[in-house]
Chain A
Amino acid sequence: MNFGFSEEQDLLRSEARKFLDESCPLDEVRKISEDAAGPGYSPELWRQIAELGWVGLTIPEAHGGAGLGWVDWVVVLEEAGRSLFPAPLIPTALAAHAIERFGNEAQHAVWLPSLADGSAIGTVAIVEAGQAPGPAGIGLVASRDGESLVLSGEKVFVSDIAAADLFVVAYRFGDSPGLALVERVAEGLTLESQPGIDLTKRIGKISLDAVRVAPENVLDGANGEAVSALLDAGAVAVTAEAIGAAEAALALTASYAKDRIQFGKPIAQFQGVKHPLAEMYVDIESFKSLVYYAAWCIDEGHEDAPIAAARAKAYASDTFPKIGIDAVGLHGGIGYTWEYDAHLFLKRAKWVRPAFGDADWHYERVAQLGGL
């Protein structure tokens, strides 16, 4: 029994932290993310992390990746979250994950190497406006035209639209959900980036107007369960980033509370300040444990994977927004300023909350999977 990280994983973590601290501190994060006309990430840093092997971390070695697991991936994501690193890491990995799990050998050979080395950027398009994130919420319809599928409909909350070369799109054919690969250049595909609160996470909507998908771009292994599994993978990934971001928010606030003197003493000495900080720690440690276990379940193909992912995302969606609010609030006036960094974490929490299903959605799944 060992619920801890290996030496290699600890090393991966310290390397990731060192790289991000040196190459992408928060002023760099601001420069990249506040440039509204830019792609929302630094192509140069993207090239570097691809060389470090992070982009293709979970892609099999045979297809140019590092062949590591989700537990390793969580380590990198925690550090990426701690730095609020703006890059299409999660969407690219999820696109690759979908292709690897539900695609065939030919699809692996076509797509995985370029996603692994960062030369192609992928993203996933699952949720629709006002709908539940699961397979039941898919309204985008597919019809047949000869061998091809023809897709029409709209997807929202799609990450990194400006950067993505490939979209993994969830559709419904009759009552059967499926996943199709749609290239950026596809005819009938309209992309619309939308301004968001969290500038480090670019989102937007895409419209498909009779987009033709050739049979080689349909993931044959995908069904309703596959869509759920992809959502779960996304939920685990963004929650792993949330661990790092929440820890950074806590560290920033605790450090401020130790230095800030009011009524003749550091405000960290007042229980009205120290207790909310302790509560942040309790919640972070708890969703951290839930995420680690969920990642392990994905690696092992364990039957607990869906409920483990649901518990992790529900807990984090429930508590991370409050951590963001308390991080700003405990700072007082300075926390409200654009210049000070506290709001960056609060904004990340607003993005994390609905991503791949919010707390209500996932708690309901916990209830269902738990026999209610």
Chain B
Amino acid sequence: MDFDFSPAEEAFRSEVQAFIRDHKPAPNDPEGVANWHKQIREKRWVGFSWPREVGGGGGTISQQVILKEEMSKAKAPSLGTCFMGLAWVGPALIEYGTEEQKQKFIPEILDGAYQWCTGYSEPDSGSDLASLSCKGVREGEAYLVNGQKIWTSIAMWSKWIILLVRTSGDGTKHEGITCLLVPMDSDGIEVRPIKNMSGGAMFAEVFFNDVRVPLGNRLGAEGEGWKVTVSALAHERSSIAEVTGLQRTVEAVKELAKRCTRNGVPSHLDPGIRARIARADAKVEAMRLNGMRALTRQLKGETLAGETSVNKLHRANLEIELGELALEIQGDRGPLDGAATEEDGRWQRLALNWPEVVIGGGTPNIQRNIIAERILGLPKD
């Protein structure tokens, strides 16, 4: 057991720290931010884990951890701006894309030229994603797509969508799913934003009415869409960045407690509040260490059987609990909204936006199923 990184890895950490010191832009400096993104692109820290031959950085797992950790600690701008492109469209392209597709899309994802959105969920296919029914019918050199997607984040600001459609009703429900890459300005696509409970609109319904998608826009073989999706999601790495984010939130909750008074007592002196903050603190630390253990196994070349679900459950619980705790700490000021709130409504937003994280990446019950079935070997429902 050794928590130290090698001298070469520590040298990389110093390089990252020095870069952040020299280039991190001020919060309201668009020119600085643009320059930041240009610089990290040149350093190949965008798509850092991707192979160098496609334009990625070829970083080792340890280097990826160090880069994410330092960036998150410094609250630096994101590593790249094409979020879903970097998270799963790119990895799927690298594994299943044709030469032509790779050459067209990957540089644009790395440059952050535009956004991608993800057309997976449907009104009747949420946790049971493989039951999806949006249809793709082969017609000459194209697929004719008809159906509806929902909960499609940033659909209204995206130029392309990675889409799962059903091209065959034969076989199991996982077979017969095909992955298509579709321009959002195609004829027959309609986007209707959905207002969420915090009042904002980040996701939308997307309707497909006789949308023609050329065969060349298929990612992977026909009927291989499920495999394409699952393998891209498997690129999700350990939860290093989430952990540093949660650590910062716990520290901010402590500071909030010191500023607030509740039931006649400074909130940070209330034994109940102290215990809950400490409980959150211990959970975040457990997440950090669980992540390190998973990482150690990955470095040894082992594949994980669903261990990341442990941290996903912790994160789900923490997102909810920290929002609740922050409002309770504020006592009678907790239910306020708008200008009268602490930190410009930061905690009210946290308390209302947890579903994005908690439900978005697979609901807690799905994570429990994954642990029960893949790790404990219990039978499927």
Does the CB pair B289–A289 fall under 8 Å?
A: yes
Task: Give which listed residue, B295, B310, B377, contacts A282 with CB less than 8 A.
Answer: B310
Does the CB pair B297–A4 fall under 8 Å?
A: yes
Does the CB pair B281–A366 fall under 8 Å?
A: yes
Enumerate chain B residues within 8 angstroms of A367, measured Cβ to Cβ.
Answer: 274-275, 277-278, 281
* CB under 8 Å from chain B, chain A span 297-319: 308, 311, 314-315, 318
4 nearest A-B pairs in the assembled complex, by CB-CB distance: A289-B289, A286-B286, A366-B278, A363-B278
* CB under 8 Å from chain B, chain A span 260-297: 265-266, 268-269, 271, 274-275, 277-279, 281-282, 285-287, 289-290, 292-293, 296
Enumerate chain A residues within 8 angstroms of B271, measured Cβ to Cβ.
Answer: 364
Enumerate chain A residues within 8 angstroms of B371, measured Cβ to Cβ.
Answer: 278, 281-282
B69 CB to closest chain A CB, in angstroms? Answer: 11
Q: Mark A347-372, 1 if CB is under 8 A from B, else 0.
A: 00000000000001001101100111
Tell me, in angstroms, the Cα distance from A265 to B379 when the chains sit together.
10
Tell me, in angstroms, the Cα distance from A308 to B288 when the chains sit together.
12
Enumerate chain B residues within 8 angstroms of A366, measured Cβ to Cβ.
Answer: 278, 281-282
B125 CB to closest chain A CB, in angstroms? Answer: 19
B151 CB to closest chain A CB, in angstroms? Answer: 23
Does the CB pair B274–A286 fall under 8 Å?
A: no
Task: Give which listed residue, A1, A277, A308, contacts B296 with CB less than 8 A.
Answer: A1
Does the CB pair A3–B286 fall under 8 Å?
A: no
Q: Does A93 reach chain B (CB closer than 8 Å)?
A: no
A sample of 10 inter-chain contacts (CB < 8 A) reads A3-B293, A4-B1, A271-B369, A274-B378, A281-B371, A282-B313, A290-B285, A292-B293, A293-B285, A366-B282
Enumerate chain A residues within 8 angstroms of B369, measured Cβ to Cβ.
Answer: 271, 274-275, 278
Chain A interface main SS type: helix
**Given A360-B275, A370-B281, also A277-B1 (CB < 8 A):** no
- Of the stretches B2-10, B27-35, B104-112, B176-184, the one at the interface is B2-10
Look across to chain B and name the residue whose beta carbon is closest to the beta carbon of A302. B3
Does the CB pair B275–A4 fall under 8 Å?
A: no
Does the CB pair A281–B376 fall under 8 Å?
A: yes
Chain B interface main SS type: helix
Does the CB pair A271–B307 fall under 8 Å?
A: no
Tell me, in angstroms, the Cα distance from A257 to B377 when the chains sit together.
11
Q: Does B314 reach chain A (CB closer than 8 Å)?
A: yes
Enumerate chain A residues within 8 angstroms of B282, measured Cβ to Cβ.
Answer: 290, 311, 314-315, 363, 366
Does the CB pair B378–A269 fall under 8 Å?
A: yes
Does the CB pair B376–A254 fall under 8 Å?
A: yes
Enumerate chain A residues within 8 angstroms of B254, measured Cβ to Cβ.
Answer: 370-372
Look across to chain A and name the residue whose beta carbon is closest to the beta carbon of B312. A282
**Given A71-B1, A286-B283, A287-B286, also A364-B274 (CB < 8 A):** yes
Q: Mark B41-81, 1 if CB is under 8 A from A, else 0.
A: 00000000000000000000010010000000000000000
Look across to chain A and name the residue whose beta carbon is closest to the beta carbon of B379. A269
**Given A286-B286, A315-B286, also A278-B3 (CB < 8 A):** no
Task: Give which listed residue, B1, B313, B365, B368, contacts A296 with CB less than 8 A.
Answer: B1
Enumerate chain A residues within 8 angstroms of B368, measured Cβ to Cβ.
Answer: 271, 274-275, 278-279
A112 CB to closest chain B CB, in angstroms? Answer: 25
Q: Does B290 reach chain A (CB closer than 8 Å)?
A: yes
Does the CB pair A363–B381 fall under 8 Å?
A: no
Q: Does A47 reach chain B (CB closer than 8 Å)?
A: no
Enumerate chain A residues within 8 angstroms of B373, measured Cβ to Cβ.
Answer: 274
Does the CB pair A268–B296 fall under 8 Å?
A: no
Enumerate chain A residues within 8 angstroms of B367, measured Cβ to Cβ.
Answer: 278
Does the CB pair B372–A277 fall under 8 Å?
A: yes
Enumerate chain B residues within 8 angstroms of A274, measured Cβ to Cβ.
Answer: 368-369, 372-373, 376, 378
Tell me, in angstroms, the Cα distance from A258 to B379 when the chains sit together.
7
Enumerate chain B residues within 8 angstroms of A250, measured Cβ to Cβ.
Answer: 376
Look across to chain A and name the residue whose beta carbon is closest to the beta carbon of B375. A281
Tell me, in angstroms, the Cα distance from A269 to B299 when the chains sit together.
34
Tell me, in angstroms, the Cα distance from A67 to B65 when the chains sit together.
34
Tell me, in angstroms, the Cα distance from A3 to B296 when the chains sit together.
6
Look across to chain B and name the residue whose beta carbon is closest to the beta carbon of A266. B379
Does the CB pair A3–B3 fall under 8 Å?
A: yes
A150 CB to closest chain B CB, in angstroms? Answer: 38
A130 CB to closest chain B CB, in angstroms? Answer: 18
**Given A3-B289, A275-B368, also A372-B1 (CB < 8 A):** no
Tell me, in angstroms, the Cα distance from A308 to B286 when the chains sit together.
10
Q: Does B346 reach chain A (CB closer than 8 Å)?
A: no
**Given A275-B368, A281-B310, also A258-B378 (CB < 8 A):** yes
Q: Does B135 reach chain A (CB closer than 8 Å)?
A: no
Task: Give which listed residue, B3, B281, B378, contacts A268 with CB less than 8 A.
Answer: B378
* 19 extra interface residue pairs, beta carbon distance < 8 Å, beyond A4-B293, A274-B378: A2-B1, A6-B1, A258-B377, A258-B379, A265-B379, A275-B365, A277-B376, A281-B376, A282-B310, A285-B290, A289-B293, A290-B282, A292-B1, A296-B3, A363-B278, A364-B274, A366-B278, A366-B281, A367-B281
